[in-house]
């Protein structure tokens, strides 16, 4: 039994632990919150259902907004990112039979993005939490939240053969879309908003040199994306049918389809090679409101999901943690609840901005199976405006770098 459980009351049927903040979920949101709370001397325990190896094996997007980059630097988590990540001035768009466009964050906002993968960030977060002696409990089963609306919430869970009760002041629900936290909010309080897209993204990782820029491709065969992790690690995606299975896609089929969706001069520069990972992600937009119920606060995928177009998922999770960690610092250390009271409202403003831009980009860049010629005409016109109007280009670049954090 690691960390906190070492302090458990011995001999009791149910071992009891206590802390200030119980964090459900040890993905990037939960680990980042734990790390920042530690800096503010706020005791916390992270309960994670999976093993560390499993959490670190998940591959997600790799494009950071300036706000996320700053957070990593502010909390001493940026050493590897600054050594090996690649600063980017924006992201390219190539469009069949139309001029290229560059979503130029540098030109329109003076800010850069950073190419740096979520897997590496999670590794660094784990390393920092272990180095600092975090109470991080992996393979916590049957996590149940109790009395979340009251002043003394508590959490029960099982690890191995032992049952635990964790008393706390605050619960942070950082347990992703499928976790129990959001479901602890009564149906008559929680409002959800959802859009499921009628296609998926098939992504592969390959140990080959990437194209220089992140580039979205619009093509009548469907969307494609060239992304990157390092000088010798490429990440590529193609839009696929919602019903496709990974087994339907050999490496050869993937590369053939990818190359067909990029203009021939770019396709000629794409280095192909065996995939080291291949997976299909469904696309959805989802928001749960409010993000607070009593002493339960939701953050990250527990409260919202965005389609990967725009790579907003991790950036949004970090935005939530920025607001939540500040609110908890003021609550515990200054006995001032001004930010706790405004957490949900502030976080949701940023969430909806990201939901909005990722929805707009998804509609712009994908062919929808049920669309009619009118929809296609509107999409083509949207792109024409982007290419010809500085105001449209500036608006997209501004949304793409992410909304600033509110004071």
Q: Is 43 exposed, middle or buried (0-12, 13-18, 19+ CB in 10 A)?
A: middle
Select the residue interacting with ligand PHB from 35, 88, 235, 350 (CB under 6 A).
235
Number of residues that bind ligand APR (CB under 6 A): 27
174 binds, among ligand APR, ligand PHB, none (CB under 5 to 8 A by kind): ligand APR
309 binds, among ligand PHB, ligand APR, none (CB under 5 to 8 A by kind): ligand PHB
Using an 8 Å Cβ cutoff, are 358 and 310 in contact? yes
Nearer residue to ligand APR within complex by CB, 67 or 179: 179
Q: Which one of 24-32, 84-92, 212-220, 344-352 is the stretch in contact with ligand APR (CB under 6 A)?
A: 24-32
Backbone φ and ψ for 370, nearest 5 degrees, come out as -100, 15
How many whole angstroms separate alpha carbon 301 and alpha carbon 287?
Answer: 9
Write the DSSP symbol of residue 212.
S
60-79: contacts with ligand APR (CB under 6 A): 60
Q: Which one of 59-67, 122-130, 381-389, 399-407 is the stretch in contact with ligand PHB (CB under 6 A)?
A: 59-67
Nearer residue to ligand PHB within complex by CB, 67 or 153: 67
How many whole angstroms separate alpha carbon 162 and alpha carbon 16?
Answer: 11
Using an 8 Å Cβ cutoff, are 122 and 56 in contact? yes
Select the residue interacting with ligand PHB from 111, 135, 309, 344 (CB under 6 A).
309
Backbone φ and ψ for 347, nearest 5 degrees, come out as -65, -40
Q: Does 308 bind ligand PHB (CB under 6 A)?
A: yes
* Cβ 270 to ligand PHB shortest distance, Å: 15
Using an 8 Å Cβ cutoff, are 239 and 222 in contact? yes
Using an 8 Å Cβ cutoff, are 298 and 182 in contact? yes
Q: Which one of 7-15, 43-51, 146-154, 187-195 is the stretch in contact with ligand APR (CB under 6 A)?
A: 43-51
Q: Which of these, 125, 33, 31, 135, lies nearest to 80 by C-alpha position?
A: 125
Nearer residue to ligand PHB within complex by CB, 62 or 300: 62
Q: Which residues pair with 233 in a beta bridge?
A: 230
Q: Which one of 10-18, 27-35, 105-113, 245-253 is the stretch in contact with ligand APR (CB under 6 A)?
A: 27-35
Q: Does 217 bind ligand PHB (CB under 6 A)?
A: no
- Report the interface residues with ligand PHB, using CB under 6 A: 61-63, 214, 225, 227, 235, 308-311
Interacting residues toward ligand APR by CB under 6 A: 24-30, 47-50, 55, 60, 118, 140, 143, 174-176, 178-180, 300-301, 313-314, 317
């Amino acid at each position: 039994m690691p960390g906190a459980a070492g302090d458990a009351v011995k001999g009791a049927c149910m071992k009891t632990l206590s802390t200030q903040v119980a964090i459900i979920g040890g993905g990037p949101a939960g680990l980042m919150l734990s790390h920042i709370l530690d800096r503010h001397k706020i005791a916390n325990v992270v309960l994670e259902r999976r093993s560390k190896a499993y959490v670190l094996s998940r591959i997600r997007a790799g494009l950071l907004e300036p706000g996320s980059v700053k957070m990593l630097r502010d909390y001493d988590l940026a050493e590897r990112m600054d050594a090996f990540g690649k600063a980017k001035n924006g992201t390219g768009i190539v469009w069949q039979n139309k001029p290229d466009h560059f979503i130029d964050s540098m030109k329109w906002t003076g800010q850069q993005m950073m190419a740096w993968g979520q897997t590496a960030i999670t590794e660094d977060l784990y390393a920092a939490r272990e180095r600092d002696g975090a109470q991080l409990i992996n393979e916590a089963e049957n996590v149940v939240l109790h009395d979340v609306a009251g002043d003394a919430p508590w959490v029960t869970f099982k690890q191995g053969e032992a049952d635990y009760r964790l008393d706390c002041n605050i619960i942070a629900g950082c347990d992703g879309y499928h976790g129990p936290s959001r479901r602890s909010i009564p149906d008559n309080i929680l409002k959800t908003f959802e859009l499921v897209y009628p296609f998926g993204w098939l992504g592969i990782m390959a140990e080959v040199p990437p194209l220089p820029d992140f580039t979205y491709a619009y093509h009548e065969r469907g969307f494609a994306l060239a992304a990157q992790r390092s000088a010798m690690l490429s990440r590529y995606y193609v839009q696929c049918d919602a019903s496709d299975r990974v087994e339907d896609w050999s490496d050869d089929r993937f590369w053939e389809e990818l190359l067909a969706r990029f203009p021939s001069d770019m396709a000629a520069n794409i280095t192909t090679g065996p995939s080291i990972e291949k997976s299909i992600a469904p696309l959805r937009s989802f928001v749960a409101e409010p993000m607070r119920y009593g002493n339960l606060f939701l953050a990250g995928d527990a409260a919202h999901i965005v389609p990967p177009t725009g790579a907003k998922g991790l950036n949004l999770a970090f935005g939530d943690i920025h607001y939540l960690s500040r609110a908890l610092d003021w609550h515990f250390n200054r006995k001032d609840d001004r930010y706790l009271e405004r957490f949900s409202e502030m976080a949701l403003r940023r969430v909806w901005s990201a939901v909005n831009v990722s929805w707009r980009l998804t509609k712009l860049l994908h062919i929808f199976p049920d669309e009619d010629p009118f929809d296609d005409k509107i999409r083509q016109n949207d792109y024409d405006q982007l290419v010809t109007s500085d105001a449209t280009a500036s608006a997209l670049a501004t949304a793409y770098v992410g909304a600033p954090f509110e004071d």
